[in-house]
Chains A and B, each alone.
Chain A
Amino acid sequence: MYALEINNLRKTYKNGVEALKGISLKVEEGDFFALLGPNGAGKSTLIGIISSLVNATSGETLVFGTSVQKDRSKAMAQIGLVPQELNFNQFEKPMEIVVNQAGYYGIPREIALDRAEKYLKQLDLWDKAEKISRTLSGGMKRRLMIARAMVNEPRLLILDEPTAGVDIEIRRSMWEFVKDINNHGTTVILTTHYLEEAESLCRNIAIIDHGEIIKNTDMRSLLATLDVETFVLDLREAIVDCPAVDGIDIVVRDDRTLEASIPKQKSLNTLFAELERQGIHVLSMRNKANRLEELFMKLVDRGAAQGVEAA
């Protein structure tokens, strides 16, 4: 049985915008699944339909075999949602918010209080449990939404850009938490702007654009399709002319920095040997962009000049 199975899902809004054009998708139980796409691609509509906040025009959404359209209550009991926008009452306290959410899933108050304590502690919010939520920092508010989504211990956790605007330290601790949940069997679907995170966390991926799935595969196979990687090289001495290396495109960014685009079949040793021969010494090297970003940009047919923006 799949954690999520979507068949020929369509959504046309009242204003005529066709947000989803008959997409189909399967997410295995226990998967850590990335759902990526540019802004306006249809991801939020898709998540809205899965979580029943958006009514599908046609098609079917099954959560662990239960149709969201036919048996909403049973399907929803298995989902936890961390939405893109803050959607809790900012005048309530974190403890109230999490315990109330448990109540909406039929979890008795005594159990809800224990679970709220558990997840608020795990997400480093226990000392803020009785503060008014409005006074929490942006990162704390995001973590509060994760604690709230976890209180019913869902089998499927959907994270819609959960780390937007969160500093790197908190972001990493959030990912550790979500990885741990996934390791304990919860299926996770993630949308994010940070593609390096999708690359390191997710095993499978779907890319959606203009309301259609343009790629749906496992992360390893997708990354294997990358035929050229671009590296930034920092040089020890300034150079005047751009060095030429057979089969490798090199661009001078400034007199001490080069960008080299290397086809997959070429060895990096070739580049270094040739630069060495020309008297150019490389101090350090890094990827120009994350590999998934490069693929993503190719797939959604947007030039690098437009900048990278995913999810």
Chain B
Amino acid sequence: MSENLHWVGYKTIVRKEITRILRIWGQTIVPPAITMTLYFIIFGELIGRRIGEMGGFTYMQYIVPGLIIMSVITNSYGNMVSSFFGAKFGKHIEELLISPLPNWVILAGYVTGALTRGLMVGGVVMAVSLLFTPIEVQHPLVMLTVLLLTAIVFSLAGLINAIFAQKFDDIAIIPTFVLAPLTYLGGVFYSIALLPAFWQKVSVVNPILYMVNGFRYGMLGVSDVSLVATYGVIIIAGAVLFTGCMILLHKGTGLRT
């Protein structure tokens, strides 16, 4: 019974989340595709041509992995925080809270939903990028695992934001003031080798640097950081955030009074 409960419950949450993503596709899928197309045109085509090569690739090719992983980060986080906070705000999270589902199933369901949106948008951005430049994937397994793990990490981070959020303004603070600066400074548009020594040292404390470069290694075969460091940072961040999420769900913080 409990295996059935967990599996059916998990599938139900995932189905519900994917239905939601597709129902509001104009808000979930289209805007990142448009934004990234603009990035490709402006930075890749217009400015990129003047910049020349970076890491042995055209500038357009160099920024493709960064823009894909940036979309995945933003959308995994955004999906989790908006969906979970929306459910909390509308009180329909109570449908799950009064059910027999354990917290880890609820968490797994929501993370899978957020991950799915991240991957859907990542796929769309990749398809758009192919209109501008050919890409030959060097290490598909690395590319896929970094993508999946990064999406999981930011889904978990989004849940913590949603749990503590009291109003809709609260779900915009982290993406605007933390996530966006860290992503832009995480090597999406440049190699940190271009930075002065001091800023290179500052950059290595930014976890997103490892995700961007790990993914870039998977696609292009070049990276500013080692693969071990990439996986290490992602796994540690994931473990810490997962533990945090489980503790908060167990205590019922922001959900049960």
Which A residues fall within an 8 A CB radius of B?
Answer: 13, 48, 51-55, 72-74, 76-77, 79, 81, 83, 85-91, 96, 100-101, 103-109, 148
Taking CB atoms, residues of chain B closer than 8 Å to A85 are: 91
Taking CB atoms, residues of chain B closer than 8 Å to A108 are: 4, 8
Taking CB atoms, residues of chain B closer than 8 Å to A105 are: 5, 9, 99-100
Q: Is B8 within 8 A of A87, CB to CB?
A: no
- The verdict on A96 contacting B4 (CB below 8 Å), with A76-B99, A103-B11, A105-B99 known, is no
Taking CB atoms, residues of chain A closer than 8 Å to B92 are: 87-89
How close is A234's CB to chain B, nearest CB, in angstroms?
A: 46
Q: Is A104 within 8 A of B256, CB to CB?
A: no
Q: Is B97 within 8 A of A53, CB to CB?
A: yes
Taking CB atoms, residues of chain A closer than 8 Å to B9 are: 103-106
Top-4 shortest CB links A-B: A103-B12, A106-B5, A104-B99, A87-B91
Q: Which residues in chain B, 93-118, are within 8 Å of chain A measured between CB atoms?
A: 94-102
Interface of A is mostly: loop
B16 located at the interface, meaning its Cβ lies under 8 Å from any Cβ of chain A in the complex: yes
Which B residues fall within an 8 A CB radius of A?
Answer: 1-2, 4-9, 11-13, 15-16, 19, 23, 87, 90-92, 94-102, 252, 256-257
Contact partner, A79, options B4, B8, B98, Cβ 8 Å: B98
How close is B242's CB to chain A, nearest CB, in angstroms?
A: 20
Taking CB atoms, residues of chain B closer than 8 Å to A91 are: 23
Contact partner, B98, options A13, A81, A100, A107, Cβ 8 Å: A81
How close is B26's CB to chain A, nearest CB, in angstroms?
A: 14
Q: Is A54 within 8 A of B257, CB to CB?
A: yes
Q: Is B19 within 8 A of A74, CB to CB?
A: no
- The verdict on A106 contacting B91 (CB below 8 Å), with A54-B256, A55-B257, A73-B100 known, is no
**Alpha-carbon distance A108/B11, docked complex (angstroms):** 10
Q: Is A100 within 8 A of B100, CB to CB?
A: no
Taking CB atoms, residues of chain B closer than 8 Å to A103 are: 8-9, 11-13, 15
Q: Is A53 within 8 A of B11, CB to CB?
A: no
How close is A4's CB to chain B, nearest CB, in angstroms?
A: 15
**Alpha-carbon distance A87/B98, docked complex (angstroms):** 12
- The verdict on A77 contacting B100 (CB below 8 Å), with A55-B257, A85-B91 known, is yes
Known: A73-B102, A106-B7. 15 other contacts (CB 8 A): A54-B257, A72-B100, A76-B98, A86-B91, A87-B91, A88-B92, A101-B95, A103-B13, A104-B9, A104-B95, A104-B96, A104-B100, A106-B4, A106-B100, A108-B8
Q: Is B256 within 8 A of A55, CB to CB?
A: yes
Q: Is B257 within 8 A of A88, CB to CB?
A: no
Chain A residue at minimum C-beta to C-beta distance from B95: A101
How close is A256's CB to chain B, nearest CB, in angstroms?
A: 50
Contact partner, A74, options B91, B95, B100, Cβ 8 Å: B100
Interface of B is mostly: helix
How close is A144's CB to chain B, nearest CB, in angstroms?
A: 12
Q: Is A87 within 8 A of B100, CB to CB?
A: no
Taking CB atoms, residues of chain A closer than 8 Å to B11 are: 103
Chain B residue at minimum C-beta to C-beta distance from A52: B98
How close is A268's CB to chain B, nearest CB, in angstroms?
A: 49
Q: Is B8 within 8 A of A88, CB to CB?
A: no
**Alpha-carbon distance A104/B87, docked complex (angstroms):** 15
**Alpha-carbon distance A48/B12, docked complex (angstroms):** 24
Chain B residue at minimum C-beta to C-beta distance from A108: B8
**Alpha-carbon distance A55/B251, docked complex (angstroms):** 9
How close is B152's CB to chain A, nearest CB, in angstroms?
A: 22
How close is B243's CB to chain A, nearest CB, in angstroms?
A: 20
**Alpha-carbon distance A81/B99, docked complex (angstroms):** 10
**Alpha-carbon distance A310/B23, docked complex (angstroms):** 42
Q: Is B99 within 8 A of A53, CB to CB?
A: no
How close is B90's CB to chain A, nearest CB, in angstroms?
A: 6
Taking CB atoms, residues of chain B closer than 8 Å to A86 are: 91
Q: Is B12 within 8 A of A51, CB to CB?
A: no
Question: Would you list 21 pairs from A and B whose C-beta atoms are within 8 A, ordered by A residue?
Answer: A13-B257, A73-B101, A74-B100, A76-B98, A76-B99, A76-B100, A81-B98, A85-B91, A87-B92, A87-B94, A96-B16, A96-B19, A100-B12, A100-B16, A101-B99, A103-B9, A104-B101, A105-B5, A105-B9, A106-B7, A108-B4
**Alpha-carbon distance A77/B99, docked complex (angstroms):** 7
Taking CB atoms, residues of chain A closer than 8 Å to B4 are: 106, 108
Chain A residue at minimum C-beta to C-beta distance from B24: A91
Chain A residue at minimum C-beta to C-beta distance from B23: A91
Q: Is B19 within 8 A of A83, CB to CB?
A: no
**Alpha-carbon distance A54/B256, docked complex (angstroms):** 5
How close is B252's CB to chain A, nearest CB, in angstroms?
A: 6
Contact partner, B256, options A52, A77, A83, A100, Cβ 8 Å: A52
Taking CB atoms, residues of chain B closer than 8 Å to A88 are: 92, 95
Taking CB atoms, residues of chain B closer than 8 Å to A54 are: 256-257
Interface-central residue, B4, B90, B102, by most chain A CB under 10 Å = B90
**Alpha-carbon distance A81/B98, docked complex (angstroms):** 8
**Alpha-carbon distance A106/B23, docked complex (angstroms):** 25
**Alpha-carbon distance A86/B95, docked complex (angstroms):** 11
